[in-house]
Structure 1
Amino acid sequence: MENFYLFMLIALAVLAIADLVVGVSNDAVNFLNSAIGSKAISFKSIMIIASLGIFIGAVFSSGMMEVARKGIFVPGQFYFEEIMVIFMAVMITDILLLDFFNTLGLPTSTTVSIVFELLGAAVVMSMIKIGQSQTETWADLTNYINTAKATEIILGILLSVGIAFTVGALVQWLSRLVFTFHYEEKIKNFGAIFGGIALAAIGYFIFMKGLKGTPYYGDFKDVMEGNELMIIIGSFLFWTIFSFAFMKIFKKSILIFVIGMGTFGLALAFSGNDLVNFIGVPMAAYHSYEAWIASGMGASEFSMNVLAQKVPAEPLLLFIAGGVMVLTLWFSKKARTVADTEIGLSRQGDGHEKFQPNMLSRLIVKGSTRLAAFFGTVLPNKTVDTVDSRFEKPVVALATKSKSYELPAFDMIRASINLMVAGVLISIATSMKLPLSTTYVTFMVAMGTSLADRAWGRESAVYRVAGVLNVIGGWFFTAFSAFVAAGTLAFLINWNSRVMIPVLLLLAILLLIRNFFVHKNRDRAITNPDKLKKAESNTVQGIIEESADTIANVVKRTNKIYTDMLRGLAKQDTKKLKKSKKGVKKLDDEVEELRSHIFYFIKNLDETSVRGSNFYIIVLGYLTDVTQSLEYIAKASYKHVNNNHKALRFNQIKDLQEIDNSLESLLKEIEEIFSNREIEKVSMILEKKAELFKFVSEKIEKQIERTRDEESSPKNTTLYFSLLLETKDLVTALTNLMEEYYRSYKKV
């Protein structure tokens, strides 16, 4: 029996390392986004600063492990074997849940996940114990669960969401009124005061949240407590002088230093305090195992009162944990995916939106628009005009559109406010001993400052609001799924631990591997060399040259999709047809993204090259026609097979294969012409259009004869005619596209 619990302990240690990896991948969003989004500091410098904060916070962490030991349940009510079941269920659930959110690219709270996992597993284990007891009832559940602490944690987390959003929006709005978007000159005059306020707030945050609870806090506890006001005033004066000297000596904006220090402070706090979410449970299991071995009692007899006592720090374990977290920060691609989500939602400019609008987001945006219009009528026009002038955004002139990616998602004022407000709110909550989620606070502050900064304009608001609602919905899903999943796993492990633990560990490994490949494939799709490229040239000749690559790409993918669809239809293969539908959807989305880029494309053109916009718009129109024809064929084919209608007759399949062979030959020629820039050969392709049309028309005539004499399936006939007619539309769109290209090419 002792060997089996040793196996469980080793498994928990491995799970702890894995949990550190998936946890850092999600929580990196807390401290990286402001610095990355503002581009105030190079990415390498950001990573070095964050790494130092993470490592120092991890090594100095020790006093924050109590939530895993006694914060949620009453340890004395459980025996050693029961507590190990709870811990194993929690760790397996935590890894799978966080990795799921990382794969989706959504930030969630590691604090909420661990709290509700401990709660779910402890509740189920308590119910099992109560069910086996002859004297206890369900009312005795409160003897097992620390309901007061659990309720306090949950309410604190929920309140922090609304408070963080409101305070972030208010502070950003006031800051923008003072500094405007043209803040460079004002920072020269008032930067020292702003730097003093921001750095004093961040410095106080580092001590109150980042180092409180460590064994080193006691050395200056007497100095800190009771003298907070004097320390804040002294800190403000020191940092104001420092900010003034920094700007005079280095001739750089103090905002750069504020963002760097804020990033360090949040990374330090995250590591020092959220480390419990990753290794708190395994460390509690380790101490439980040590106490059980020393007792000499049976696993079902040894009460876990030992967990109610404070334990010394484990410097070696904390050192290893810090190293794992730093390595994860540098090498985890999922951390970048989660960070991209928040940066995309808070981005000042327009661009590709990750989330689709929903009914609730539309209602919120419409209601907010009407409310803003109402205030516009109530307030004096002069006041409205004055406020609007403070929010006028500078026009950034780019030499070429290819440099658009260099623009920051938001400016350094907003990045500084994000870090400062998040730090202050977390510090206040810590000083008042109120629990909260650092993820929720930092995310909602970023969303509040985005709203106040008018980043959510009429062009993007419905998408951004939908994104925020999706993320918040994911948080509620985190709590519910963590509770249910951990409780379910605790029940299964308690039922037969020797069988279920190896099975669940194997299942966890398989799911992690699957999620890894899902994320890898999604990354590959984003960086796919076959993805359609936006036009970046500002001359007619350059536009025509770039369009050749786009046309060749679309023709190549059209050829493959069309062939796969007909093969799937012939074999009644719904899986292949579904894959073809996804391929068409992906191509259509890329063409639509090019169309949404037209505004910026036209803005970027030289005065002498404006006529190139007409060519580009027409080309995109024909590409849209191509994708629409493919989409109709894909949907009709999939619907026919998925509804289990009669398969196409042999003669019909044979005719479609002949058409596919002819079309495949034509499309390959077109692809080679545009890939090799042999544009003069376009005229030869145009002559083949009539031949293909005649060939398709003959197949239509044959089907009419078959319908009159032998055809018995109305569904087959409808589908067959639809495929032939849509194929003609597809060829028409392609030939029109080539004619337009050929005419424009000859004019250059």
Structure 2
Amino acid sequence: MDLFLYAALALLALLACCDLFVGVSNDAVNFLNSAVGSRTAPFWVIMAVASAGVLLGATFSSGMMEIAKTGVFVPEHLTFNDVMVVFVAVVVTDVLLLNTFNSLGLPTSTTVSILFELLGGAGALACWKVWSQGAPITDLGLYINSGKALVMILGILVSVVVAFISGFVIQYLTRIVFSFRYETVYRRAGGIFGGLCLSAILYFLIMKGAKGASFMRPEWLAWMNENSGLILGVTFLFFSGLFQAAILWKKANIFPVVILSGTFALAFAFAGNDLVNFVGVPIAALDSFNIYREASAAGPVDPATFTMGALRNVEKTPTVLLALSGLVMCFTLWFSKKAHRVIRTSVNLSSSSRGGKEQFGSSLPARLVVRGALHTNELIHQILPASLFRALDTRFVPKAAEPGKPELPFDELRASVNLVLAATLIASATSLKLPLSTTYVTFMVAMGSSLADRAWDRESAVYRVSGVLTVVSGWFLTAFTAAAACAIVSALFLWLGHWAMIAGMVIALCIIIRSNLLPSAEEERLEAVAQVTDRGDRTSVRELLTQSIDENLDETLELFSKSLQAFVREDIRELRELKARGVDFFERVSQGRGEYYRMSHEPVLSSGDRDARCFYYRAFTSMKEVSHALMGELGVAENYVANCHSPFKGRMLDNVILLAKDMELLRTRFSASRCTKLLTRLEDAQSDFMTQLSEEPISLRKSELYLGFLLFTREMLNRYMMVKLLQAELNGPQSSSASGANPEASAPSANTVADKESGSA
């Protein structure tokens, strides 16, 4: 038994460290996005401020640890063996669930998952005990703290709505007061705005959050509660006066101070609320072990009968454990490449520039919501006077970016509102010992403030509403999946015993290390692409294009060749796999083209850099069109075989087989001469079709599929020959032959390429 306990605690500690690393890598964007996006300070300054907030916030999270100990189940009715089964099942399920959701690209929340995993594990354990003891079904309520669990669940769900509405209302009122050209109002009321922000931060984080600190004494807390009004008033007057004096006398910009303070506050609130998601269960297991060991010191104790009511008496978590957890989180912030990549991606997606890939697709409910909102807006405009809307419109006219400077995703005013409001909401819940999803709260505040700022124009409204609906649906999906999965894992552990628990933790540890701590080839590719697009110079773009063109061409030829062969064999399974690969390929090429919009924000050092970026966009546009057409052809071929339509025969079959072989030959060497011969062969294949059509009846569906193969091949060859010409011109005449184009043909001018490209479709 002792060997099992020590092995289980060691594995839980390792899983907690890994979970901390992975969780912070994914969630760091929540408190760094606004500061990085507004470029209010150097990146290292932002990171230092956030690290201080995380480290201090971790020591204030002691009160939240009660959720894992007594928030969901009733420890008085559970034995030491029971709680260890639940804790191990929760940790194993959490790792597997989050890894699965991340792999599928589904939205999730560590708070929702850990809460419902505890609920599912405790529910399975309660059912097991009721069944094994032959007790009535009504005894299930003895083991589940249903009242507290319901309050926490409703709190998480309500927080999403409250965060969105609060973000919209506060940002709307703030923008009406300040507008986008807030210089005049800023000189008069900027100090009051700064004083309100810092007073809110101090009150909700220090005053409200102090009760959860592991080092606070009761007499300190009593004094702060008795004098909270006085402290808040003095704080507001002090900061307002200080900021206003700095504005009037020194013409100081207080927004960097507010944004950095908000970053500290949000990092503080994140650590205070979310630390329980990562280490709460392992710490609860350690506390249970200490209680059991102390009881065993007085005499032999049976872990199968020893109840854990003493868990309610463990009020404070040792500060050293919380501080160590905070240090791991800070280490992740500074050294996790994944965290930096997530931050960069999030800032790019929130940019106001058009043309990039939206984070969420469109959906029918989102379209209905947007259309309904448009009709409602028209109705309101008919009821209220036009002069009112003209006056309001003047407050929402965005300020144009200064020449030569990149357009920021959002200004300092909205960044301040996002940070301060999200931090106060999360800190308020932490003071009430209610877990919130910091991801959902931060996201919904940002969505509400962007809606108030009229960033939801008709070009992006459907996608933004889809994002909100996706987050809400993700909440329910995560909840039900987490509860069901943990219930199954708990039942397996109860059935198979202790060593199944050890095996489960080892498997979970291997999965989390392999999936998150060891970079995949795709992650390394994305990092390399990001470094190139961050520079955006001619040499870097040329190297990236050379690699991307060769890889995309090879994958296009491979997918099309294999799909033709599978179509001839009527292999529906391979066609489905190729169709899925085609979808992923299209997404990857689309993402590659979207990198152009990042390069467009970087300063242009020479005309060669500008030309290289232009060639990059034109080349990737052609490759994107080809990948989109390929995805369509793969889908049509898969549907044709799935619906059991008659196979090709005669000359049509011979030409499809020959076309598949030609694709394989092109993979070995793609040249203009081979493409010209293949284009001629396509004309012969179309003539053969007309001959066969006159000899025998051929269905319209079969005709369209066959001609679609020929049309796609022609378009693919034309576009990739244009891409190779663009590549040759970018490399220069001296390296034309190295680009893969026909070495006998000299590289055309940029105008000639543009003319050919416009007519190649």
TM beyond 0.5: yes
Q: 2:658 aligns with which of 655, 658, 668?
A: 655
Q: Residues of 1 paired with 2:531 and 2:273: CA distance?
A: 42
- Code of the residue aligned with 2:330 in structure 1: it is V
SS of match in other structure, 1:373:
helix
- Give how far 1:156 is off: 2.0
List aligned pairs for 1:100-139, cutoff 5 A.
Answer: 100-101=100-101, 108-134=108-134, 136-139=135-138
SS of match in other structure, 1:202:
helix
Moved more, 527-536 or 313-322: 527-536
- Code of the residue aligned with 1:557 in structure 2: it is N
Contact 1:493 1:501 in 2 (8 A): yes
Q: Residues of 1 paired with 2:359 and 2:61: CA distance?
A: 37
Aligned to 2:469: 469
- Give how far 1:742 is off: 4.3
- Give how far 1:700 is off: 5.0
Q: Residues of 2 paired with 1:9 and 1:114: CA distance?
A: 19
Aligned to 2:578: 577
Contact 2:560 2:630 in 1 (8 A): no
Aligned to 1:366: 371
Q: Residues of 2 paired with 1:589 and 1:137: CA distance?
A: 58
List aligned pairs for 1:23-422, cutoff 5 A.
Answer: 23-101=23-101, 108-134=108-134, 136-214=135-213, 215-216=215-216, 218-247=218-247, 251-295=251-295, 296-336=300-340, 339=343, 343=347, 347-350=351-354, 351-399=356-404, 404=406, 407-422=407-422
- Code of the residue aligned with 1:581 in structure 2: it is G
List aligned pairs for 1:557-596, cutoff 5 A.
Answer: 557-558=552-553, 560-567=555-562, 569-570=564-565, 573-574=574-575, 577-578=578-579, 581-582=582-583, 585-586=586-587, 589=590
Q: Residues of 1 paired with 2:722 and 2:477: CA distance?
A: 50
Moved more, 559-568 or 216-225: 559-568
Aligned to 1:679: none
- Give how far 1:393 is off: 0.4
Q: Residues of 1 paired with 2:699 and 2:320: CA distance?
A: 75
State the TM-score, normalizing by the size of structure 1. Answer: 0.82
- Code of the residue aligned with 1:414 in structure 2: it is R
- Give how far 1:503 is off: 3.5
Q: Deviations over 1:649-681 (max 9, x none)?
A: 99556632564477568x8335xxxxxxxxxxx
Q: Residues of 1 paired with 2:697 and 2:385: CA distance?
A: 76
Q: Residues of 2 paired with 1:620 and 1:338: CA distance?
A: 23
Contact 2:541 2:613 in 1 (8 A): no
Moved more, 524-533 or 162-171: 524-533
Q: Residues of 2 paired with 1:293 and 1:577: CA distance?
A: 57
SS of match in other structure, 1:297:
coil
Q: Deviations over 1:377-423 (max 9, x none)?
A: 21211110010000000111443xxx64xx32111111111222223
Aligned to 1:457: 457
Q: Residues of 2 paired with 1:714 and 1:445: CA distance?
A: 53
Q: Residues of 1 paired with 2:580 and 2:303: CA distance?
A: 53
List aligned pairs for 1:651-690, cutoff 5 A.
Answer: 652=655, 655-656=658-659, 659-660=662-663, 668-670=670-672
Contact 1:107 1:439 in 2 (8 A): no
Q: Deviations over 1:298-330 (max 9, x none)?
A: 111211111121245323322321211111222
Q: Residues of 1 paired with 2:534 and 2:65: CA distance?
A: 51
SS of match in other structure, 1:64:
helix
Q: Residues of 1 paired with 2:40 and 2:615: CA distance?
A: 39
Q: Residues of 1 paired with 2:72 and 2:61: CA distance?
A: 20
- Code of the residue aligned with 2:301 in structure 1: it is M
Q: Residues of 2 paired with 1:747 and 1:722: CA distance?
A: 26
Contact 1:37 1:343 in 2 (8 A): yes
CA RMSD of aligned residues (A): 4.4
- The 3 A distance-change label for structure 1 pair 528 and 496 is same
Contact 2:79 2:307 in 1 (8 A): yes
- Code of the residue aligned with 1:152 in structure 2: it is V
- The 3 A distance-change label for structure 1 pair 713 and 513 is farther
Q: Deviations over 1:603-653 (max 9, x none)?
A: x9xxxxxxx999999999876764565445544555566678769899556
State the TM-score, normalizing by the size of structure 2. Answer: 0.81
- Give how far 1:501 is off: 1.7
Q: Residues of 1 paired with 2:534 and 2:24: CA distance?
A: 34
Aligned to 1:14: 14
Aligned to 1:695: 681
Q: Deviations over 1:125-166 (max 9, x none)?
A: 0111111123x3111222111112112212222222222221
- The 3 A distance-change label for structure 1 pair 457 and 551 is farther
Q: Deviations over 1:669-704 (max 9, x none)?
A: 35xxxxxxxxxxxxxx6xx87654433344555677
Q: Residues of 1 paired with 2:32 and 2:619: CA distance?
A: 41
Moved more, 652-661 or 77-86: 652-661
Q: Residues of 2 paired with 1:261 and 1:713: CA distance?
A: 70
Q: Residues of 1 paired with 2:11 and 2:5: CA distance?
A: 10
Q: Alignment length, in residue pairs?
A: 712
- Code of the residue aligned with 2:304 in structure 1: it is S
Percent of aligned positions with the same letter in both sequences? 37
- The 3 A distance-change label for structure 1 pair 289 and 533 is closer
- The 3 A distance-change label for structure 1 pair 535 and 703 is farther
Q: Residues of 2 paired with 1:16 and 1:534: CA distance?
A: 34
Q: Residues of 2 paired with 1:441 and 1:617: CA distance?
A: 36
- Give how far 1:19 is off: 2.2
- The 3 A distance-change label for structure 1 pair 244 and 319 is same
- Give how far 1:25 is off: 2.8
- Unaligned regions of 5+ residues in structure 2, if any? 605-611, 727-746, 755-761
Q: Residues of 2 paired with 1:248 and 1:532: CA distance?
A: 44
Q: Deviations over 1:153-210 (max 9, x none)?
A: 1222222222222122111111101111112343233211111111111111221344
- The 3 A distance-change label for structure 1 pair 473 and 520 is farther
Q: Residues of 2 paired with 1:331 and 1:576: CA distance?
A: 37
